[in-house]
Structure 1
Amino acid sequence: MKKQILSAATGLVGLFLIWEASHLILQSPVVPAPHQTLLEFFISLPELLPHTLSSLYRILVAILVSLLIGIPLGIWIGESKWANRLLSPLLYFLYPIPKVAFLPVFLILYGLGDLSKIILIIWIIVFQIILSTRDGIAQIDPKLYLALESLEAKPFDKWRHLLFPAILPQILSGLRVCIGIALATLFFAENYATTYGLGYYIMNAWSVIDYPDMFCGILMLSLLGFLLFQAIDWLERLLVPWQTKKR
């Protein structure tokens, strides 16, 4: 725990040093001083919290639904040769498509509320979950399946002692990638037809030339991402301790 706190503190100090250097070099109101932004941040915290909770809700729902869809599909593709031959090429075609372009489609189909934004995030990150799960299944040594068969293991035992431990590290690694993508997508999606969310807050502050307030939103978005990453690290230490020991 002490190492993690020290690491977080080191990263925070490094961030503020780069920020202060950028402020001094550029000498522009577009990059306000860190101390000025921090003061504004605490003053604006009551206003920031509803926007943060709205963004957090959209991200968490999207990640949860993506896991519920992506893990079973990834296991099926990883275990079934014909499913892998049939669906993997389709995934390779769909995955690189710039899916943010579908936001107008989702706004028309699902309305201007949270649903269209959540579906956009799901549409973007679910492929990462599917591929991470499939790759976790593919890395299992075939001899381990034979060992389970020789022990007359039941399907539940196969899942508990082989599949689940095999795919968890891949899923957690995939989730780290998904968080970064989800935050970027959320920022884009919250600029359309919404009045709550950190993306809206940042762009609204930019539109009225309130740069310290804009950086408050950016800082809160960074803090949200940091906390989500910390949550993934905590889950990794809890669920796959053998993976963390290697680091």
Structure 2
Amino acid sequence: MKKAGILLVAMWYALAFLAGKPFLPYPHAVVSHTALALLQSSLIRHLLISAYRIFVALITATVLATWLGLSAGRSRKTDNMLTPFAYILYPIPKVALLPVIMLFLGLGNLSKVFFIGLVVFFQIYFVIRDAAQAVDEHYIDSVRSLGASRFAILVHVVLPAVLPSLFTALRVSTGTATAVLFLAETFATTTGLGWYIMDSWARMDYLDMYAAMVCLSLLATAFFALFSLLEKHLCPWMHLKDKASDK
């Protein structure tokens, strides 16, 4: 991880030196300007707005997709009812729906949260559905033979079995959600990091532009790290080999 970071910074320095243009500043200039902008300008406000939008969208989409995915994965009847609609809706380019979504939900946070959640929902739904279908029936039969209810089987067998897949889907969806967030914030709005980046670009304030890009990257990295941390705490069996190798 450290080597990759060092290599990335070195490449950035090399490109900035070779380009010699104001639109590609050196990394140290971007870092210092980012720190000052977070303290002295409105950048922190736009960062918090973007963080709120992506957080609400991810949480809402995850809860809904997990619930429906588990239902479809463990019930053939539910699967036959839900999955055909998912197969039809998933390939539709959601970007084309953004103007329609804004017409129905307005230009505020709701339309942007819904747009991000709509894109992320299907990624999580299919992963959870497939993971729930792949649960070994022997484990379920063993717990059922002890008198466990369907709810107990879901909570103590199926849900733990799909958790690793859920966190993998969340990490993948973080990158998607960040890209969709940027797109949503460049369309008919004056708030958020996406708008801040494009506004700085239009004003040719390249240090401000890169500062917002750094903040957007850090926001995505923070969510990615959060999901990895939650996986380590909620799925400790997934990291037994790592602990053994450390010893």
- In structure 2, what is the Cα distance between the partners aligned to 1:244 and 1:20? 37
Alignment of 1:53-68 (within 5 A): 53-68=48-63
Q: Structure 1 residues 26-35 or 224-233, which shifts more?
A: 26-35
Structure 1 residue ranges without an equivalent (≥5): 1-6
Equivalent of residue 160 in structure 1, options 144, 151, 155: 155
Does residue 1:25 correspond to 2:18, yes or no?
Answer: yes
- In structure 2, what is the Cα distance between the partners aligned to 1:190 and 1:109? 17
Aligned twin of 1:124? 119
Does residue 1:45 correspond to 2:38, yes or no?
Answer: yes
Distance apart, 1:246 and its partner CA: 4.4
Alpha-carbon displacement from aligned partner over 1:60-119 (angstroms, at most 9, x marks no partner): 111111122111110111011132233323222221221011110111101111111011
Equivalent of residue 184 in structure 1, options 160, 171, 179: 179
- In structure 2, what is the Cα distance between the partners aligned to 1:204 and 1:150? 63
- In structure 1, what is the Cα distance between the partners aligned to 2:85 and 2:163? 24
Aligned twin of 1:216? 211
Alignment of 1:73-112 (within 5 A): 73-112=68-107
Distance apart, 1:177 and its partner CA: 1.3
Aligned twin of 1:3? none
Alpha-carbon displacement from aligned partner over 1:146-170 (angstroms, at most 9, x marks no partner): 1112111123431232011111111
Does residue 1:240 correspond to 2:226, yes or no?
Answer: no
Distance apart, 1:28 and its partner CA: 2.5
Paired letter, 1:153: A
- Whether the 8 Å CA contact 1:135–1:170 is kept in 2: the answer is no
Equivalent of residue 12 in structure 1, options 5, 9, 20: 5
Structure 2 residue ranges without an equivalent (≥5): 243-247
Aligned twin of 1:72? 67
Paired letter, 2:134: Q
Alpha-carbon displacement from aligned partner over 1:112-153 (angstroms, at most 9, x marks no partner): 111110110111111112111111101111111211121111
CA RMSD of aligned residues (A): 1.5
> Given the two structures, how large is their TM-score scaled by the length of structure 1?
0.92
Count of residue pairs the alignment pairs up: 240
- In structure 2, what is the Cα distance between the partners aligned to 1:147 and 1:39? 59
Alpha-carbon displacement from aligned partner over 1:166-212 (angstroms, at most 9, x marks no partner): 11111111101111111000001101222221101110100001111
> Given the two structures, how large is their TM-score scaled by the length of structure 2?
0.92
- In structure 2, what is the Cα distance between the partners aligned to 1:50 and 1:15? 28
Paired letter, 1:190: E
Q: Structure 1 residues 57-66 or 81-90, which shifts more?
A: 81-90
Aligned twin of 1:229? 224
Paired letter, 1:32: P
Indicate the SS of the match to 1:232: helix
Paired letter, 2:12: W
- In structure 2, what is the Cα distance between the partners aligned to 1:207 and 1:245? 51
- In structure 1, what is the Cα distance between the partners aligned to 2:17 and 2:145? 68
Equivalent of residue 202 in structure 1, options 197, 200, 204: 197
- In structure 2, what is the Cα distance between the partners aligned to 1:211 and 1:28? 10
